[in-house]
Structure 1
Amino acid sequence: MDSIPTKFEELPNEILIDLFQYFDARNLFQIFYNLNYRLNTLIQYFRHLNLTFYMESFIDNQISGNYLFPFYIRTLIVGRAININLDRFSNIHYLKLECPLKRVLAQLNSNELPYLQQLTISHIDTLTTVDEWKSLPSLHILKVSRITLLVYKTILKACPNLISFELSIFSSDKSKLNIEPHINLKRLVIDIGDLIWPWSDHSFDSYLSCVPNLEKFHVYRSIFISKVTESLLEYDWLASKITRYLLSLHRFNFYFKIIQSHIYMKSDILCQIKEKFLNSHTDRYQSRLTTNKYKSRLEDLPNELLTDIFKQLDAQNLFRSFYNLNKRLNQLVQAFNYLQLTFHMNQSNVLKTNGEIYSFYVHTLIVDPWINFNLIHFPNVRHLTLNSPFPKVIEQLKANVVPYLEHLSVFYTYNMYEINLLHNEIFSNRFPNLISCELLENQTLMTIQKSTQSPLIRILKTKFINLSIYERILSVCPNLYFLKFSMHSSNELLPNVQLHKNLKYMIVDQSETDWFDDEFTLSEFLARVPNLEQLVFHRRNYSRNIIQYFEQYDWLASVINFHLPFIRKLKFHLYLSSDENVNGVIDKNILTKIQSDFTNVHKGHYKAQLEIHLKPL
């Protein structure tokens, strides 16, 4: 019988990943990052997930101790009036600001946030100006509190690819502006913030006249019960505005909140109002009037609640359970192209029935080893993980098949011709949105035959590379921030040393083979990255006389001091044979001396840490 795990680190990866999802992102990094190699690997796996960071105080902005942490944040929530530099979180896709400072709003531009897709701004006062918003072309979804018509105009101009826009206005605002048409906005939600009676709809003209392709229009409006009289029967429920401006409308929802609704009211008036509403709107689009009654059926719940419920379901189960039940649920399910649906493919040809429709909405795709499938079914995938893929699956990895790919991981057990072609595609900027890439194969050197600059790639993990491949990677990825690799020892010399000024974090993993004093090669690698701030080095030593050898070893101190003037942190992982520990070659005193020697050598301006791992041969 298998023994029950008794220590945290004995839990399988699947359970650890599930546990990690319940942690705040920064707490996760502070507690587990750099404890050991396995936990580091698991945490970095979270690029497939939406790590959320809640910034609730100014001190949260002082992110120290891990410079890689902000690059894994996809969702950032900033508390009330926090002064924050958003450029630290350049990879966020969703941002929520609560009562933001003006200088924070000024950072909302494509230079600081090139991948921002969804933005929520909650504020108390009316937002009267956003002059700083010059360009946010990546933004698709925006939710703000109360704004003026001028702000509405500025936002539409700054966000040409906006699809969904939620806002609040005052119907008493009589201002008028000529606004250039915004052809991409498909969904508009307007909450009327005042209770002026009788209702006036003049303010809607400017808001609706500039969105000719709108497909979904939702209005929230409140009224005191004392005003619910026969006079409402004369109201046309925005039908004339829709007929005039919204020729492409598919669905109109009017949420009618009656304040003090517990007071007795004749039910026949409400019935007449609903009948008037339905008669006012044509069959050209679906229309629905919702009052604040108790909800007794799932389909009676508002779209917002249904969407929250759907988020908790597995992507494939969601489609199987709700798709094609009715038109409204179809539209809600299809709205999940704004979300991160994850599909774990563990059998070939798994797509059936609604498969092709369902797969269109998958953003994260993880494929088990030796699975045969057609990647063309997943055109909107952002995160793709392939474990031991078939060559014909690799052949499908083209920019026209997965045009939105941002994170790619390929784990393969042997070299193949198709992998070499993929390397050329990646390092020739053929994937215009690719940010991070993981290409792992244990047997052979990585090859890059053709290349041009790929300026978007910030994170790269691979296995064996030599100095020439290393230099080519640095050349074609000028904005590379993080690099992990295994160094192939050689005596090659390249005539011109090209410096890479943006690489800050490097992991050199030599844990799979013994390291034979090739500090010369390491020196050549480090000489090209003078601005490196964090270096992690994994070294195995199974075949040496440990006592004699480490008495003369300087633990990379001379190489670091010569090439890395801005280094802030060194972490050295030393792997020794546990068999020698059993045989008495290694004891506690020797390990203590090794730790002491390491500390004495590294007394510079940077933090140095040594971890010793005892493993069997």
Structure 2
Amino acid sequence: MTDNAISKLESLPNEILLETLQLENSHNLILTWYNLNTRLNSLIEQLHSIDLSSISYAYFLSYCSLLINRQHQVSSLKLSNVDSSEQISLFLSKFPLQNFHHLRSLSLIEVKQVEINEVILNLPSLNHLLYLLIDCHTTYYEEVLLNDITSTSLRSLTLKSTNAIHYNWSNVGRLCPNLESLNVNFFIYVDQLVQLLSSVPNSLKKLSIALRGDNNYSNIKPFNDLSLLNINTKIENLYISLGPDVSFSDFKLLIKQFKHLKKLSTEMSLPWNIRNTESSLNGYEWVQIISEHLPNLHTFSLRVETYKEHWNDQVSHSFNTDFWVKHRW
């Protein structure tokens, strides 16, 4: 770097330098910027967003040293066990979560069961937390038991897992009364969805779920329950991925519960022996659903995995009527 370049860099005001440093990941901050001079060190120590998700163990320890006595300044924190299986536990042992008084966003990647329990236990002390992401670490045989998540400040909750997560969905609205967005990135059964829809707060506007049709451990007849409950959620944005055991007839019963939808994104797989009159490949069926039950819908997307022989001129024409041309979907 030339003297002229150094001069130009150091002539920038602190506000611009802070914005520039914030764009760097934690690895580059330590490797490239830290210890160049006292001013840059001071600015790095003022950063409010901390991302330790892709960083070696040595750099992780170096960055931890910068956090001593300044946890209260951090507004966004991202931790991961991907590169070091003990990173999250080590971090929490050094810096108790309740010390992050102004934390607004918390993301945990490949987090273990014992770490999840510790984090959830301390959530009520994070009075400013708005966003929480829990990406569970699981093995092929392991299932995650998730304790009740309690946060009156939380606005967005994302749960991810390759395996099943056991959670009491009936308490969501009571324990997270101001939740606006819920992303459930693993399959849940319809009886669990019944619990969820019966308890979500009116503040919930966005829901993303992956749905299975049958739970062998439940005595509930789930889709019949949905038709009887007459649930009236305020959800406006719905993404739903349907497992192959959820029929289109069942889906039609389900979607009637979302009368306030403005945006609907649907993904589903069809069996090889479908009948077009009962499948999601029938555009006329979708026109009826939208016209009769989704009066506020203005954005719609549909992705169907099926065999090529199911797509023919009749199917194509059913999605090319005046209704579809008018809406440009």
Q: Do Structure 1 and Structure 2 share a fold, with TM-score over 0.5?
A: yes
Offset of 1:324 from its aligned partner?
10
User: Which of the residues 543, 564, 575 maps onto 2:272?
Assistant: 543
User: Which of the residues 144, 153, 164 maps onto 1:416?
Assistant: 144
Cα gap change, 1:605 to 1:541, in 2 (>3 Å): same
User: Which of the residues 28, 43, 51 maps onto 1:332?
Assistant: 43
**C-alpha contact 1:515 1:539 (8 A) present in aligned 2:** no
Which residue of 2 is the match for residue 439 of structure 1? 159
Over the matched positions of the two proteins, sequence identity in percent amounts to 14
Which residue of 2 is the match for residue 355 of structure 1? 64
**C-alpha contact 2:287 2:323 (8 A) present in aligned 1:** no
Cα gap change, 1:386 to 1:492, in 2 (>3 Å): farther
* Aligned ranges 1:182-193 → 2 under 5 Å: none
Provide structure 2 residue ranges, at least 5 long, that are not aligned to the other structure: 1-5, 214-221
Offset of 1:481 from its aligned partner?
1.3
Which residue of 2 is the match for residue 152 of structure 1? none
What CA distance in whole angstroms lies between the structure 2 residues aligned with 1:608 and 1:297? 51
Does residue 405 in structure 1 map to residue 119 in structure 2?
A: no
* Aligned ranges 1:447-596 → 2 under 5 Å: 447-448=167-168, 450-451=171-172, 452=174, 454-462=176-184, 463-474=186-197, 475-489=199-213, 490-493=222-225, 495-501=228-234, 503-510=235-242, 513-514=243-244, 517-519=247-249, 521-544=250-273, 553=282, 554-577=284-307, 581=308, 585=309, 590-596=311-317
Offset of 1:437 from its aligned partner?
1.6
Offset of 1:355 from its aligned partner?
1.4
What CA distance in whole angstroms lies between the structure 2 residues aligned with 1:317 and 1:362? 20
Offset of 1:542 from its aligned partner?
4.0
**Partner SS state of residue 392, structure 1:** helix
Offset of 1:571 from its aligned partner?
1.8
What CA distance in whole angstroms lies between the structure 1 residues aligned with 2:289 and 2:53? 44
Which residue of 1 is the match for residue 85 of structure 2? 371
Offset of 1:483 from its aligned partner?
0.8
User: Which of the residues 315, 320, 324 maps onto 1:599?
Assistant: 320
Q: Once the two structures are superposed, what CA deviation does each residue of 1:330-369 show, in whole Å capped at 9, x if it has no partner? A: 54333323xx343324556863245143484472415254
**Partner SS state of residue 53, structure 2:** strand
**Partner SS state of residue 159, structure 2:** strand
What CA distance in whole angstroms lies between the structure 2 residues aligned with 1:391 and 1:348? 21
TM-score normalised according to structure 1 size: 0.40
* Aligned ranges 1:88-167 → 2 under 5 Å: none
What CA distance in whole angstroms lies between the structure 1 residues aligned with 2:260 and 2:208? 16
Offset of 1:504 from its aligned partner?
0.9
Offset of 1:566 from its aligned partner?
1.8
State the superposition RMSD in angstroms: 3.9
Structure number with higher helix proportion: 2
Cα gap change, 1:446 to 1:299, in 2 (>3 Å): same
Larger radius of gyration: 1
Letter in 1 for 2:238: M
Cα gap change, 1:362 to 1:315, in 2 (>3 Å): farther
Offset of 1:439 from its aligned partner?
1.4
How many correspondences in the alignment?
A: 290
**Partner SS state of residue 464, structure 1:** strand
Letter in 2 for 1:509: S
TM-score normalised according to structure 2 size: 0.70
Cα gap change, 1:552 to 1:347, in 2 (>3 Å): closer
**Partner SS state of residue 455, structure 1:** coil
**C-alpha contact 1:346 1:371 (8 A) present in aligned 2:** no
**C-alpha contact 2:144 2:166 (8 A) present in aligned 1:** no
**C-alpha contact 2:248 2:280 (8 A) present in aligned 1:** no
User: Which of the residues 52, 62, 68 maps onto 1:343?
Assistant: 52
**Partner SS state of residue 289, structure 2:** helix
**C-alpha contact 2:157 2:183 (8 A) present in aligned 1:** yes
**C-alpha contact 2:109 2:135 (8 A) present in aligned 1:** yes
**C-alpha contact 2:188 2:210 (8 A) present in aligned 1:** yes
Cα gap change, 1:354 to 1:317, in 2 (>3 Å): same
Of structures 1 and 2, the one with the larger relative CO (CA 8 A, separation 6+) is: 2
What CA distance in whole angstroms lies between the structure 2 residues aligned with 1:562 and 1:488? 25
Letter in 1 for 2:294: L
What CA distance in whole angstroms lies between the structure 2 residues aligned with 1:540 and 1:402? 41
Letter in 2 for 1:440: K
